Structure formats: C-alpha cells, structure tokens
Chain A
Amino acid sequence: MPTIEVERGDLEELLGAKLPDDPEELDNLLSFVKGEVKQLSDAEIQIDIKDSNRADLWSAEGIARALRGILGIERGLKEYRVEGDSGVIVYVDERLRNIRPYIGCAVVKGVRLSDAAIRNLMRFQDKLDQTYGRGRRRTSIGLYNFDLIAPPLYYTVSKPGETRFIPLGFSEELSLEEILERHPKGVEYGHIVKPFEMWPIFIDSRRKVLSFPPIINSNDLGRVTIDTRNVLVEVTGTSFKAVLHTLTNVVLALADRGGKIYSAEIHYPYEDLGVATTPSLEKEKMEIKVDYIRGVIGIPLTLREIIDLIERSRYGVLEADEEKVVVEVPCYRTDIMHPVDVVEDIAIAYDLNRMEPRWPQAVTMGGLARETELRNIVREVMIGLGYQEVLTFSMSNPTTLFTKMNVPCEDVIEVVNPKISSMTCLRNWLIPSLMELLSHNTHVEYPQRIFEVGYCVIRDDKLPNRARDVEKLACVTIHSCAGFSEIKSVLDALFMNLNLEYTLREDVHGSFIEGRFGIIVVEGEEVGIIGEIHPQVLENWGLENPAAALEINLSSIWQIIKRRR
C-alpha cells in the first residue's frame, strides 16, 4: 500500500475546489480514490492509497483528476493527446537485451513548475520507482532539461570503469564504478547492475551523459528546476508494458501542470520490436452489459444513473442503451482488465454507504468441521483436569525441537527465508513448544500444568503439497513431585472420555527417562508418546522441577474414530 504526501494548497489548486477542513470529511472524500488520511498537518496531507494497482492515483495530479469527477467538477474522459513529434530519436543498443532492454521517452513542453509542483513530481517519481518499479528493478524514471540536450540520443552500454560524468548532487566526475561506491543512490541501487559486465548508459549526440539508468542522472542535464520549461522524460526497464505505463503516468502529471506532450521515436534492435513511438496515450474501448452492472451491485440503477456514474469515474461513454454501454477507458487506467473493474468504479461513485445492505436470502446450515469437534472435546477434558491452555508459534528451530530435547535432528520443513533465528522451520512435535514456555516461567508459582492443541507439520511426499498437517495435543505437568503416574492418570482420563482403549509399549526416547517412557498404541497404531522428562532436558531448559508429558496425534485419533463409525 503506497503512502504519498501531497501539499494541501497544491492539491486544492489542481482540484479547483477547497478540501474539507474536518479530518473525517477529508478522509471520507479521499476514500473515493481508495485513499485514507494517514497524517495531517496544516500544509501537508499524508495519504495511504490502498490500490497498489493504480499508479495514476499516487500523485496530487492523479488524485485531483479522479476527485474532480467524483465532485462533479468535470465529467467524462479527460482527453490527453500527443501534440506532435518532438523529433527526438533514441537508438537502443542490442547489448542491453539481457541487461535492461526497454526505454520510452517523451518531451513535455511549456511546463511551469512551482516549487510545490517539483517536490510533488519528485515524490511521484520516487513512488513509481519504489512500488510499481519494484525498487527501480522493473522500471525507473529520469527527468531532464530538454533545452540542454542534443538529440539523437543513445541508450547503450559502457564498461563500469570507462564512462565518467558528474552525478546529480556531486561536483566532481566519477566513473560508473565509483558512483556505485560513493554516490548514495549508487549504494542503494547498485545491486541491480552489479551482476552485469556492461552497464546501461544514456547519452546524447555529443556523447554527453544524460544518466546511468537506473542509478542516477547527470548533474548538468538531469536536473529539473522552476526555470525548466521543456522536460525530457525517460523511463527504462525490464518490461516494455511497464515502461510505457510509467511513462504515461509521468507525462500526464506534467500535462496536468500545463505541459504539451510530444513523442519520441525509439529504434529497437530486437526482432519483435522495431521502431516504437512513445508515449502511447491510446484509449481502449470496453463493452459492459447493463444487466451485469445491476447484477454485481444489486441495485436497479437506471441507464441515466449508470451513465452519470461512469462519467463521474472519468470514463468516456461512447454508446449506451438498455442492453449495454460502451465505455472509453483512459490511457492511464491500465488496471482495467475486466468489465467488473468499471463496475467497481460505478459502485464507488454511487457511494457504498448509500447502498442498503442486505442479508443473503439463502438458508445454509452452519457447523464445525468434525476434526474441530474432537479438538474441542480434548480441550474440555484437559481444562477439566486443571491444565491451563497455552498458544505457541508453530514455527520453531532445530535447537528447540531437537538439541535441547536431547534427540537427534529429524527432517522438518524449513523455510528459505527465515526472518529470525528462532523461526526457521515448522515444528514436527509439540512438547518442545511447551518446554520453551515453561522455561520462561521458572519464577511463577508451581505446580504448573499446561497444554496445547496445535498443528505440527511433517513431510509427506505422497501429498501434492508434500506436507501433512497433524493436529496434536501435548501437555506437561511440572512441580516438585511430578511424575509418570500423574501424567498417566491424564492419559487414562482422556481415553476414557474418547471411548478408546490404549496400550503402552516400552521404548526409549532421548527426551524421557529410560524405563519411564512409552509409546501410546491404539488399534495397533502409534498415536502418541508419554513419559517423565529426562533430567538432561530439564537442565537444557533451565528447569529445576521434575516434569512429565504426553503428546497425542489427534489427526490419527480422528481417523480411528471415523473408521469405527
């Protein structure tokens, strides 16, 4: 969810109306563009835009464009057009194919940028780079003072040590390599180009460097000030579609500031892409059935209402009758993929809070999954036995699961990208989670009796997802005279209430005292373990009282119960 900052005065000027002073009303108004006031000061509004798919709303210009429709100041599609050819030709080097293959350019002439407008533009550029551009990896934007540039332009490559220029904000020439080491942007984004031997470079016909995409602009050519009248906009990236979309967004924002748009010709060396003219401000047509609109929203809107709502959402209406409407989708609405996207805008423009909520008519029977019923029975018995229910994380680590439990490591499901060292895998048994909890409570009054019914996950290559969730019960009793017979009483009580008979099979287990451990067997199937905790394990967890524990696989128990029915 992108967070953007706009200046209240700037937004009001673009909007042509005053914004509400009351924060709640302002929040309400911004909700029509999926915005939410995050912070409010006299001059600035910080807005969360919830739609991560609508880059057109991440600027004051875009918000104003949409709100003018909602407020009825301006209806229908806003026309943006390319005034003509700027004469700029960009030649793309074939060697960029696997590095950063695409570029799009446009020239916007006659802009008059206030300080506020420039700040806004920089923020918009940054937001697009970060969010839509995936931290400049997918797309990045460069803005230049067009009057200082001598076309044609060349989007080419350079060896890291070869090219030198003064990067933005510096006073000395640096090589590309030095920029990666010394310039803050080089440090931040250098990882994008580092894997390559040759790095992208954007130069003009005099071989003057415009920029080192996607890292940094030149200090001479790549700087836009309040005196800049004609702006060259460039976007490079790894997806041509994303490059075009980003370019459109920047160009329209400048056009909203009074600029006139001129195109550039990009000469690609790739088989599937020859000469491309950018920007592309093409509108699209979309046909929507009127019944579909009514059916999704659930309100018998009249055709007139529908047309009004569509126009307030800044679409054009080309045709409309009782059967269908043909909508003109503006070039910046690349998020419109399906008629339902337009229907949502109609619903928003109608105002969700004006709709009368309706409880669905259909009668359905509610209920728990049968496994959950078993889980609840087990919890009830454990609580009746005086055990406190606890809730622990199902992610754990091998030290907790095995080393501290005095057992050899087992195969568990690990994650590639753990965030903290205590959560690197899914647990395959539950008792360690309880031991860990007890280790944090040595100062708390004993006896302590705790239980948890929770999920463990074990690898199972027979299943499509290669893992099986196992719901388990574990309980531990710990106090100065805790022992095997106490925990066995719990087991007896539990199985009596589950109407199941069990036997215990002697075995050895590193976590338990030899001769005081058993495997719980029901109908020949191993369903759990029970025993007195080994003093070595107690010592590992810093526990000074004897403890006894049991763990039962409820998923297995459930299968046995199901078989019997």
Chain B
Amino acid sequence: MGLRENEVRLLMALRDAGGRATVDEIAESSGLAVAAIMRAALTLETRKLIRIYERRITKFSLNEEGRRYAEEGLPERRLLGILLRLGGGAPREKLLAEASRSMGSEILPIALGWLVRKGWARIDPKDQRIEVLRVPEEGGDEKLLKMLKDAGELILEDLGDDLREAFKILKSRKIINLREETIREVELTGDGWSLLKRGLEFVEEVTQLTPDLIVTGRWREKVIARYDINAPAPRAWPGKKHPYLRFLDWVCEKLIALGFKEMRGPIVEISLFNCDGLYMPQDHPAREIHDIYFVKDPEFGDLTPYMEIVERVRETHENGWRTGSKGWGYRFSVSAAARLVLRSHTTAVSARTLISDELEMPGKYFAIGRCYRPELIDKEHLSEFNQVEGIVVGEGLTLRDLLGILERFAIDIAGADKVRFKPDYFPFTEPSVELSAYKRGYGWMEFGGAGIFRPEVTKPLGIDVPVLAWGLGVDRLFMMWAGIDDIRYIFTHDLDWLRRKGLI
C-alpha cells in the first residue's frame, strides 16, 4: 500500500502525539498546511487508518471594557474600597464626589447598581446614606475575569458549572466576545497503529514536474501527484478571426476557385461611377438624400481624367448616344455627375474595373466592399454594410451563362438543394434576375440579384461585349449560418460573443 508523502507525515505526527491530536497541533508539529493535512486525512480515513472527529466549540475573550475591568477590578469592587476608606458609610453625594476623583463618572451609576444588587451595601431610602453591609471574598465573575486576563481566550465547553454562571454574568455585562469554531481532531485507528508498527512505505510525491527533476532523472524516485482532471481550469481565449470576416474569407476562396479575380475601388466615389455611368437617371430616387450619403467638403470630384466617358454618358442619358437606346431624354448635368458620394453599392467598383487598363477579356471579377446608405440602424438595416459583387465579361455571354453562374453560387456558396430564378429590376441591368436558393431545413432564401449590364452602361465605358453582373446576399447567408436574426451582430461590440462564438 503506497502512501503519499503528506499522508506519511500525518501518520508520523499522530504517532508522535500519542495517537490523537487536533489539526492545528499536527500543523505545528509537522509543518504541513492545514488544507494539506485535511486532504491527507480524508484519504487516510477512507483507508480506515485514522478517524476524524469534528466538534463545535465556543471560544470567548474579553472585549476592551472587559480588559479594563480585569486590569482595575470590577467597578463595584473599587467603589466598595472607596466607601470603606470613607469609614464604611457616607452620604450618597459625598461617596460619588469622592469616587469621581478616581473613577469615570459614567461608570458610577453602574458601580452603585451592582454594589447594591450584590448585597455588599445598602442605600437608606430616607436620607440616601450608603453603608457597607459586608466585605465579600472574590466572586466567580472576578475569578473568571482573572483567568481570561491570563489566558486571553477560553473555551466555554471546558468550564465547570460555577464558572458557567460567572460566564453568564460577564456576558450579561457585555464585556465578552464570542466566536464559534470547529475543532478537527484526528485519531489513529488500530489499523493505523499496526501499519505504523510494520513500517511505512514512503514515496515522495511531486505536483509540478520540473526541468531539474527531468535532467537529474530524479523523477524516477517520485510519484507525480494525481489531479482531479474534472476540476475546472482557467479560461483561455484564443485569438481568432471575426466570425463574419472568416465567413467572407471563405466566400472569397470559393469565388477564387471559380476563377474570379478580386477588384478594389474607392469608398468616396464620384457619382459618375456610382450612378451616372450605371445609367441611373439624375432624378432617380436612389440618388436622393435619403438613399445616398453626400460628401460635405469637397462637394465635387475631378472629372477631367474621365471627360470622354462623361461626354458619352451624358449623351446616352440625353438621347441614347450610339447605344441603340432612346436614352432617358432629360438635360444631363455634368456637375451632378461630379458630385462626391460614399459608395452606395459595389457596382461602382465594377464600373471602374470596366474602364481599367488591366481589364482582362474574357474576365471574371469580384469585389467585397463596404457600402454606405443613410439608414437608421435596426435589426434588419445597417447604415454601413458589405456587398459581394462581381462581373463576367467576354464575347458571347448570354442570359443562360448568367443563370449558370448564379446556380453555381447557390450550390457552392449557399449550399442550395434547389434554385429558382425570378425576373427582377435594376436600373443598370436588362434582363435582370433574382436568385432564390432552397436549402432543406431552411426553406427558400433570396440569395442574389444579377443581370446583364445594359448597353447604355457598357458602351459609354468602352465595352462592346456582354457584361454579366451579379451581387450576392451574403449577409443573410451569414446570419443563417451563425444563427443570428439581428444584422447588427455583424458589427457587434460584444467581445464576449466574439470570444464564445464557435467556429463550426
């Protein structure tokens, strides 16, 4: 039977103490911590080598006033002394006047009261003269007071009957402090004694394996302490991606795998790219102050690098230019096209890509971009949000290709089981399509909008081949995946949620 170090030390301390001792005594003699003794004692008790006894005791000591009584004697004893010095009797006034020279005046009524109550003196009811009746010996209360003065603290349960009475008196005089305590005693059992007589197999135990133990090989002589492996461990919070950005990274990967190249564009955008170039008429409701953020200063961007495009866009809006369209038929304002706004959709990035020197043909592009709209923020709306959008540009692309791309997205990204298309409307695409994805357990979900850029969009940008344009409702997909119904969680301040949000 192997015993751990602390258990051995406890058994030996008990033997040295004669077989029984309190935990405090063992702590003193063995140098073990009380908690360590208790742990060891509990183990040894289950092996029936010792028995643990517990007993509630009441310890008491003198409070400040009590200590003064112990020092100077009880007030009535002192008052009796003064009365005796005055000849064994004196008028009340005289006694009190004399006594107040050596005793506090606040204590005199108490002293006089006890003097009478204990029958040491009497007060003549007629002339208030006070006379000694007897000179008593030391009372029980005075004896206990002395004991307390010497011992500091006594255990109530250890007192004899007479002192119990004295205790009650002192307690009623409110000069006693009480506290309850549990005393634990440990006693060797017969098995314990015989084990000790046989001799202990003693193995030293370690809690922490140290480099020293490893290097010296001393670990071989040790037992490594067992742990309660189910005890709680301190929390650790790993650094990790924001769940939404992690999701966007994943969408990114999918798009790259499908041959899409990332494009980027500016946040502060010229209306030419955010609206006019996308054939949105200048009085379009989506260009009003409720739907788009306008930059305060400067109000206008510089159109000079794009004058050729501006001119073509102007003509397209006014009369269709060479696009085969009638145009919107209104007077185009060039300054409205120069107005600076915060990008309201990533389609602006697509427009910029189409005029870029680096445009590849055929090409597939995507952008994940921050967009801005003056909305009040609630469960369903954000004033600032991300869009995933892109284009496919090349000779011979058709509506069927657009549907093919959308179907691929629905299956690869949204994990759809079924796909449905509906006619839709965007100012810059014709035909326009809405993509709905069906997933078992979730039902139908609108997952994207798409279309073929109108010739009024592409031709002024210098593109003569079809451009398929698409946008995906990734926010809703993320919310579904993350099990949240409040879009504000995408930009949450809740660090605890971010920490606790599982990755799967």
- Spell out A's residues near B (CB within 8 Å): 31-32, 34, 36, 50-54, 131, 134, 138, 239, 241, 295-299, 337-341, 343-344, 347-348, 352-353, 355-360, 362-369, 371-372, 376, 379, 382-395, 413-420, 423, 426, 436-438, 440-441, 444-445, 448-450, 455, 457, 459, 461, 463-469
Q: Is B259 interfacial (CB 8 A cutoff)?
A: yes
Contact indicator A298/B240 (Cβ below 8 Å): no
Residues on the B chain within 8 Å of A353, using CB: 420-421
Contact indicator A360/B264 (Cβ below 8 Å): no
Q: Name which of A383, A415, A437 has the most chain B CB atoms within 10 A of its CB.
A: A415
Given contacts A297-B399, A338-B430, A465-B269, contact A364 B320 (CB under 8 A): no
Q: Which of B239, B305, B329, B454 contacts A382 (CB 8 A)?
A: B239
Contact indicator A391/B490 (Cβ below 8 Å): yes
Residues on the B chain within 8 Å of A365, using CB: 259, 261
Contact indicator A355/B498 (Cβ below 8 Å): no
Given contacts A34-B424, A295-B398, A340-B430, contact A359 B404 (CB under 8 A): yes
Q: Is B433 interfacial (CB 8 A cutoff)?
A: yes
Residues on the B chain within 8 Å of A385, using CB: 239
Given contacts A299-B400, A338-B430, contact A51 B394 (CB under 8 A): no
Query: How far in angstroms is the closest Cβ of chain B from A344?
Result: 4
Q: Name which of B326, B364, B431 has the most chain A CB atoms within 10 A of its CB.
A: B431
Query: How far in angstroms is the closest Cβ of chain B from A65?
Result: 17
Instruction: List residues of B (301-341) whose CB comes within 8 Å of A's CBs.
Output: 301-306, 320, 323-330, 340
Contact indicator A296/B325 (Cβ below 8 Å): no
Pull 16 A–B residue pairs with CB atoms less than 8 Å apart, ordered by A: A34-B424, A239-B330, A357-B419, A359-B408, A360-B405, A366-B255, A367-B256, A367-B262, A388-B237, A388-B240, A389-B245, A391-B242, A391-B490, A391-B492, A415-B293, A445-B235
- Complex Cα spacing A344 to B453, Å: 12
Residues on the A chain within 8 Å of B190, using CB: none
Given contacts A387-B239, A464-B270, contact A450 B432 (CB under 8 A): no
Residues on the A chain within 8 Å of B407, using CB: 357
- Complex Cα spacing A440 to B496, Å: 10
Contact indicator B491/A391 (Cβ below 8 Å): yes
Residues on the A chain within 8 Å of B468, using CB: 360
Query: How far in angstroms is the closest Cβ of chain A from B20?
Result: 47
- Complex Cα spacing A53 to B257, Å: 37
Contact indicator A417/B294 (Cβ below 8 Å): yes
The segment from B37-45, B113-121, B375-383, B479-487 found at the interface with A is: B375-383
Instruction: List residues of B (393-452) whose CB comes within 8 Å of A's CBs.
Output: 394, 396-401, 403-408, 419-425, 427, 430-434, 452
- Complex Cα spacing A440 to B408, Å: 41
- Complex Cα spacing A457 to B269, Å: 12
Residues on the A chain within 8 Å of B399, using CB: 296-298, 347, 352, 355
Query: How far in angstroms is the closest Cβ of chain B from A196?
Result: 20
Residues on the A chain within 8 Å of B490, using CB: 391
Residues on the B chain within 8 Å of A50, using CB: 423-425, 434
Residues on the B chain within 8 Å of A372, using CB: 262, 264
Query: How far in angstroms is the closest Cβ of chain A from B331?
Result: 11
Given contacts A52-B425, A445-B235, contact A418 B408 (CB under 8 A): no
In the complex formed, the residue of B with least CB distance to A379 is B241
Contact indicator A297/B293 (Cβ below 8 Å): no
In the complex formed, the residue of B with least CB distance to A466 is B298
> Could you give, for residues 462-504 of chain B, a 1 whenever the CB lies within 8 Å of some chain A CB and a 0 otherwise?
0000101000000000000000000000111111101100000
Contact indicator B323/A338 (Cβ below 8 Å): yes
Query: How far in angstroms is the closest Cβ of chain B from A192?
Result: 15
- Complex Cα spacing A56 to B266, Å: 38
Contact indicator B423/A352 (Cβ below 8 Å): yes
Q: Is B148 interfacial (CB 8 A cutoff)?
A: no
Query: How far in angstroms is the closest Cβ of chain A from B369?
Result: 9
Q: Is B285 interfacial (CB 8 A cutoff)?
A: yes
- Complex Cα spacing A297 to B295, Å: 40
Residues on the A chain within 8 Å of B491, using CB: 391-393
Q: Is B263 interfacial (CB 8 A cutoff)?
A: yes
In the complex formed, the residue of A with least CB distance to B398 is A298
Contact indicator B423/A348 (Cβ below 8 Å): yes
Number of interface residues of B (CB under 8 A): 106
Residues on the A chain within 8 Å of B191, using CB: none
Instruction: List residues of B (349-394) whose CB comes within 8 Å of A's CBs.
Output: 360, 362-364, 370, 372, 374-377, 383-384, 392, 394
Query: How far in angstroms is the closest Cβ of chain B from A471?
Result: 10
- Complex Cα spacing A395 to B252, Å: 24
- Complex Cα spacing A473 to B370, Å: 17
Contact indicator B401/A369 (Cβ below 8 Å): no
Query: How far in angstroms is the closest Cβ of chain B from A314?
Result: 15
Contact indicator B422/A383 (Cβ below 8 Å): no
Query: How far in angstroms is the closest Cβ of chain A from B360?
Result: 7
Query: How far in angstroms is the closest Cβ of chain B from A20?
Result: 16
- Complex Cα spacing A376 to B499, Å: 20
Given contacts A337-B320, A357-B406, A379-B241, contact A416 B423 (CB under 8 A): no
- Complex Cα spacing A98 to B261, Å: 51
Query: How far in angstroms is the closest Cβ of chain B from A357?
Result: 4
Contact indicator A420/B376 (Cβ below 8 Å): yes
Q: Which of B240, B259, B329, B432 contacts A363 (CB 8 A)?
A: B259
Contact indicator A469/B240 (Cβ below 8 Å): no
Query: How far in angstroms is the closest Cβ of chain A from B157?
Result: 47
- Complex Cα spacing A428 to B455, Å: 38
Contact indicator A362/B394 (Cβ below 8 Å): yes
- Complex Cα spacing A376 to B408, Å: 26
- Complex Cα spacing A203 to B423, Å: 45
Contact indicator A34/B425 (Cβ below 8 Å): yes
- Complex Cα spacing A15 to B282, Å: 36
Residues on the B chain within 8 Å of A445, using CB: 235, 237, 496
Contact indicator A359/B401 (Cβ below 8 Å): yes
Q: Which of B303, B376, B383, B398 contacts A296 (CB 8 A)?
A: B398
Q: Which of B255, B259, B295 contacts A414 (CB 8 A)?
A: B295
Contact indicator A444/B324 (Cβ below 8 Å): no
Q: Is B193 interfacial (CB 8 A cutoff)?
A: no
Residues on the A chain within 8 Å of B258, using CB: 366
Contact indicator B495/A348 (Cβ below 8 Å): no
Q: Name which of B302, B377, B399, B492 has the most chain A CB atoms within 10 A of its CB.
A: B399
Residues on the B chain within 8 Å of A352, using CB: 399, 403, 421-423, 433
In the complex formed, the residue of A with least CB distance to B305 is A464
Q: Is B268 interfacial (CB 8 A cutoff)?
A: yes
Residues on the B chain within 8 Å of A393, using CB: 383-384, 491
Q: Is B131 interfacial (CB 8 A cutoff)?
A: no
Residues on the B chain within 8 Å of A391, using CB: 242, 244-245, 490-492
Contact indicator B454/A419 (Cβ below 8 Å): no
Contact indicator A449/B239 (Cβ below 8 Å): yes
Contact indicator A364/B363 (Cβ below 8 Å): yes
In the complex formed, the residue of B with least CB distance to A348 is B423
Residues on the A chain within 8 Å of B419, using CB: 357
Q: Which of A138, A297, A382, A418 contacts B398 (CB 8 A)?
A: A297
- Complex Cα spacing A364 to B434, Å: 25
Q: A389-B239, A455-B370 are known contacts; what are 14 more A-B pairs with Cβ within 8 Å?
A: A134-B283, A298-B398, A338-B325, A364-B259, A368-B256, A369-B263, A414-B295, A417-B293, A417-B294, A419-B375, A437-B495, A465-B269, A465-B302, A466-B302
Q: Which of A358, A414, A465 contacts B296 (CB 8 A)?
A: A414
